[in-house]
């Protein structure tokens, strides 16, 4: 984590946390509002990071776009997470900073419907242009909270961004109750 620790210093990020590499394959996760994405990507580019991939996830709070960056000289995968709404899923492109992001952003549009503003060649990548569905979006009743999927991360300091809302840690009993209700729901 040493090489990536101060990459975001001075940026008004929502939250940052360390990760347990053996659980999630990353050393750090940074949560950003949409207006913070380009500055963070620029910092990573200037520090010699490359983009590995861009993925999407459909949660109750919105569609989260996850960017995975790594460094050849100082390995340590960094995940940048941006949450956008289901109603108007749009975030800025980073393809002007990382040209390799173009394909990943187009794929994220195909499967999740996220529009990447100012993308130079914004059109479907894998699906036909006339295909109006985004196959990886879930029915609303099947969406779970993104906060349930942060098990590989250290606790996030309570903070609030445009869309992210990290609350003070819950008592252990509340977490156990939530785990039990998820197990019962799966039955």
pLDDT at 128: 72
Q: Coil, helix or strand for 38? A: helix
The tokens describing 141, both together, are: 């009743």
The length of the chain in residues reads 187
- Sign of the alpha-carbon dihedral angle for 145, 150, 154, 160: negative
pLDDT at 130: 82
pLDDT at 54: 96
pTM score of the predicted model: 0.83
Q: Which helix (H) or strand (E) holds 179?
A: helix 172-186
Task: Give the per-residue pLDDT at 179.
Answer: 57
Q: How far is Cα 186 from Cα 179, in angstroms, rounded to an integer?
A: 11
Q: Is 98 helix (H, G, I), strand (E, B) or coil?
A: coil
The residue behind tokens 């879930």 is: 138
The answer to whether 102 and 120 have CB atoms below 8 angstroms apart is yes
Helices (H) and strands (E) in the chain, counts: 4, 9
State the pLDDT at residue 12: 87
How many CB atoms are closer than 10 A to CB 155? 11
Binned average pLDDT, 10 residues per bin, the chain of 187 residues: 64 87 84 94 94 95 95 88 95 95 92 90 76 88 90 82 76 56 57
How far is residue 157's CA from residue 155's CA, in Å, rounded to a whole number? 6
- Which residues are registered as beta bridge partners of 54? 67
pLDDT of residue 180: 61
Predicted pLDDT at 177:
57
- The structural domains of the chain, ordered by start, are 15-186 (3.30.460.80)
Per residue in 68-101, pLDDT (tens digit) is 999 988 778 999 999 999 999 999 999 999 999 9
């Amino acid at each position: 984590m040493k090489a990536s620790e101060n990459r975001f210093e001075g940026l008004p990020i929502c939250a940052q946390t360390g990760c347990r590499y053996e659980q999630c394959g990353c050393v750090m996760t940074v949560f950003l509002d949409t207006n913070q994405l380009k500055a963070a990507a620029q910092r990573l580019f200037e520090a010699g990071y490359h983009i590995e991939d861009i993925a999407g996830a459909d949660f109750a709070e919105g569609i989260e776009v996850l960017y995975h960056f790594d460094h050849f000289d100082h390995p340590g995968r960094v995940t940048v997470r941006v949450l956008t709404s289901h109603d108007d899923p749009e975030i800025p492109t980073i393809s002007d900073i990382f040209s390799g992001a173009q394909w990943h952003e187009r794929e994220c549009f195909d499967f999740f419907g996220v529009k990447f503003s100012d993308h130079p060649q914004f059109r479907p990548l894998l699906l036909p242009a006339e295909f109006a569905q985004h196959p990886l979006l879930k029915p609303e009743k099947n969406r779970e909270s993104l906060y349930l999927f942060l098990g590989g991360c250290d606790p996030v300091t309570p903070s609030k961004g445009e869309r992210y809302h990290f609350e003070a840690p819950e008592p252990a009993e509340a977490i156990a109750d939530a785990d039990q209700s998820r197990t019962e729901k799966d039955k």
